[in-house]
Structure 1
Amino acid sequence: MTIWTGFADMEFKLHYINANGIKTRILEAGKGDPLILLHGTGGHIEAYARNIRGLSEHFRVICIDMVGHGYTEKPNRPYGIDYYSDHLLGVIQALNLSQVFISGESLGGWVAAWFAAYHPEYVKALVLNTPGNVNNKPEVMQKLKESTVKAVVEANYENVKARLEWLMYDKSQVTEELIEARYNIYTQPDYQEAVHNIVYLQDIEARKQYSWDPSWCGKINVPTLLAWTDHDPTSTVEEGKPLQAMIPNSEFTVIKDAGHWPQWEQVEEFNNVLTNFLLQGSEKVAAK
C-alpha cells in the first residue's frame, strides 16, 4: 500500500492553518480525543503515513509538518526546542483544542516532552518514540548533520535514499515513493536555507540549552511512555533508560526489529502500543 493511495477510501483532510503566524500543513483523520503526531529532524507528515488509518479508528489524528519542515513555512532563524514548542502551541490554539495526546518521534519526542513540561495544561498523555538528544554523542550528531545537509544541498536519489536508510533496521522498508516524497520536499527552494536552521540542534552548544535534565523533565506530570527499539542508530536501550528516571512515573517499552522509525517498520505493534497506553493513561487521569 502506498502513502496516498492508502487513504483513498478514508475520510481525511489535508490543509493549512495559521499557527501563530506560521503557515502550517496538517493532516487530520478520525474522531475522538485529539492525537498530535510529531516527526523527526528533516521529517514530514508522510513519516506517519502507515499509522494514520489504524490510529484514526481511536483518535482524531492530527499529523503536522513542524516549523521549517515539510511544506510548512520556514522562517530564517535557528530552530531550537523552545521554538518548535511555541509552534506546537500555535497549532493547538489555532485548532481550538483544550487537551491533546502527543506522540513524537526523535526530534518530535524531544519537542513533545519539552512542551508537556512547560504547557502541562494542554497535555493528557505522551508517547515518546526513540526521542532525540539522549546522550549527545558527537559522532551521531555529526553523521545526522552531514547526511541531512547533504540530502538537501546535494539532493539526488541516492543521497535522499541514504538519509532514509539510516533510519531503518530493514533497509528494504525505504520505498521508492517515500524517497520521491522526501526528494520533492528537500528540493523546495526555501529548504536549501532552512536545512541549516534545522540542523542547529546538532551543534553541542545549541543542544546544551535543551538537554534532557531532571530540572525540566521533572515537571512532566502526565502518563508518559518511552518507546525504544532494539536497533535505534542514535541510542541503545540502556542509554535510553535514564530518561525513565527523569520523567516521573514514566513507563518504558522496547519494540523489536526496528530502527529509528518503529512507526514505519512495525506498524501494527507501534499502533497497538500507542493506542493501549494512551487510552489507559486517559482512564488514569479521569480516575484522579
Structure 2
Amino acid sequence: MSEQNEHTGACEEYRSIWGHLRELEFRQGYLDADGVRTRYVEAGSPDAPHVLMLHGTGGHWETFAPTLGPLSEHFHCVAVDMVGNGFSEKPDHDYEIPVYVRQIHAVMDHFGMDRTHLIGMSLGAWVAAATAVRHPERVGRMILMSPAGLVATASNMARIRAERTAAVNDPSWSSIHKVFEHLIADESNRLPDLIALRQAVYRRADTRETIDHLLILQDAGARDRNLIPESDWAAIQAPTLVVASGKDHGEYRSTAHTVARLIPDAEVFEMPEVRHWPHFEDPAAFNPAALGFLGK
C-alpha cells in the first residue's frame, strides 16, 4: 500500500513540456529555409507583431515551450530548429554563423516577417545579434540570454565539444542528463521528456554523421572568424534586453554584462538563481519581463 501511495504521489508531481502546451493552440510543421528542411512551431495571430525564437547549440524549439503560450497572446511567435540542430535537416557542411543567419532570414521571408523581434539563447543569441548587425532594418527588439559570440576561451570550447560528442557517441539517459547539468541549475527543472527529446535527437544517424559540422564553432579558427567584434556590438540599433543568469558558466555571465555595456541603451535583467536556460527554468520571472520589454 505504501509503495502504491508513493507511486501515486510521484505521478501527482510529474511535470512535462506538454504541461506548457496542452491548452495552447499551436502549429508544428516543416518549411524550406535556404534549402534546409526546417522544423518550426507557430503560435499566435499572424497579424500580431512577430517574435522569432532561437535555441542554443544542439537544441530544438521545445526549449521555448514555457514561453510560447504567454507571448502568443500578444505576438505572432515562431520558434525553429536551426540548421543541423534538433529535427531539422543536417546538410554535409559546417554550420557557421552566416549559415544560420541565411536560414533565419529565409524563415522570416516564409512567414512574411518584414520586421521581427528576436529572442535568442546562447548560440541563438549569437545568431540574433549577427542578424541585427547584418540586417538591422528587419530586427525590432532583441532579448539575448546567455549570449555567445563576443569571446571564446579554449577551456569552454573544449568542454562543450567533449560533452556533446560524448553524449552523441553514448546517448544514454545518464549521458544526456549530464548535458543538462550545465544548462539548468535546479534538478527538478530537468524534465524527463526534455532529456528524452535530446536523446531522440542524439540517437539519429544524421546527428552522429554531422556532429563535427555542428561543433565547428568550438574550434578556435572557426570561432575567431565568426565572433562579432566589439565595434559591431556597439553599432546594434535594436533595443536589447540582456538576461544575466547568476548560476551560468562564468564566460556567459561576463559576456552578458559586457555586451549590455556595448549595445547602446541595452537593459540587463538579472536572474540570479538560473543557469543557461533562464526562460525554461524560471518562466514565472522571464515571461513578464519579456512581455514588458517587447511591448514597449
Question: TM-score, normalization: structure 2?
Answer: 0.90
4+ runs of 1 displaced by more than 6 Å? Answer: none
Number of the residue aligned with 2:37:
23
Q: Equivalents in 2 of 1:118, 1:101: separation in Å?
A: 15
Q: Which has the larger radius of gyration?
A: 2
CA distance in 1 between counterparts of 2:138 and 2:159 reads 35
SS of 1:67 mapped into structure 2? coil
1:177-192 counterparts in 2 under 5 A? Answer: 177-192=193-208
For the structure 1 residues 236 and 71, does the alpha-carbon distance in structure 2 shift closer, same or farther, using more than 3 Å as the test? closer
How much has 1:246 moved relative to structure 2? 2.3
Paired positions, count? 280
Task: Give the aligned CA root-mean-square deviation in angstroms.
Answer: 1.5
Q: Which runs of 5+ in 2 are unaligned?
A: 1-14
The AA in structure 1 aligned to 2:215 is: V
Residue 24 of structure 2 is matched in structure 1 by 10
Work out whether 1:245 is the aligned partner of 2:273.
no
Deviations 1:115-164 (A, max 9, x none): 01101111111001111244312211111111111111221111111111
1:72 counterpart (84, 88, 104): 88
1:17 CA displacement: 0.8
SS of residue paired to 1:142: helix
**Aligned pairs (5 A) from 1:115-264:** 115-235=131-251, 237-264=253-280
Q: How far apart, in 2, do the equivalents of 1:211 and 1:20 lie?
A: 22
Does the residue aligned with 1:208 lie in a helix, a strand or coil?
Answer: helix
Match of 2:104 among 80, 88, 104: 88
Give the Cα separation in 1 of the matches to 2:22 and 2:253: 37
Q: 1:115 to 1:239 in 2, by over 3 A?
A: closer
**Cα pair 1:109 1:131 within 8 Å, conserved:** yes
SS of the residue aligned with 1:257? coil
Match of 1:104 in 2: 120
Shift of 1:232: 0.8
Tell me which residue corresponds to 2:53. Answer: 37
| Structure 1 position 273, deviation (Å) | 1.4
**Alpha carbons 2:146, 2:243 under 8 Å: kept:** yes
Secondary structure of 1:124's counterpart equals: strand
Aligned equivalent of 1:284 = none
Cα deviation digits, residues 8-49 of structure 1 (max 9, x gap): 332110011111211111001112211111000011111111
Q: CA-to-partner distance for each residue in 1:144-194, whole Å, 9 max, x for gaps?
A: 111111111221111111111211111231111111111111111101122
In structure 2, C-alpha distance between the alignment counterparts of 1:8 and 1:273, rounded to whole Å: 23
Give % identity. 31
Structure 1: gaps spanning 5 or more residues: 281-288
Q: Provide the C-alpha distance between the structure 1 equivalents of 2:41 and 2:214, rounded to a whole number of angstroms.
A: 22
231-240 vs 178-187, greater mean Cα deviation: 231-240
One-letter code of the match for 1:166? H
2:71 to 44, 52, 55: 55
More off after superposition, 258-267 vs 218-227? 218-227
> SS at 1:216's partner residue?
helix
Alignment of 1:269 onto 2:288: no
TM-score normalised by structure 1 residue count: 0.93
- Output the CA distance in 2 between the equivalents of 1:229 and 1:5: 24
The CA distance in 2 between the partners of 1:6 and 1:113, in whole Å, is 28
For 2:34 and 2:96, locate their aligned partners in 1 and report how far apart those are by CA, in whole Å. Answer: 17
- Matched residues in 1 for 2:262 and 2:225: separation? 17
How far does the alpha carbon of each residue in 1:177-227 deviate from its partner, in whole angstroms, 9 at most, with x for none? 111111111111101122111111011111111223223223311111111
- How far apart, in 1, do the equivalents of 2:272 and 2:251 lie? 14
Residue pair 1:167, 1:233 contacting (<8 A) in 2 also? no
1:2 partner SS: coil
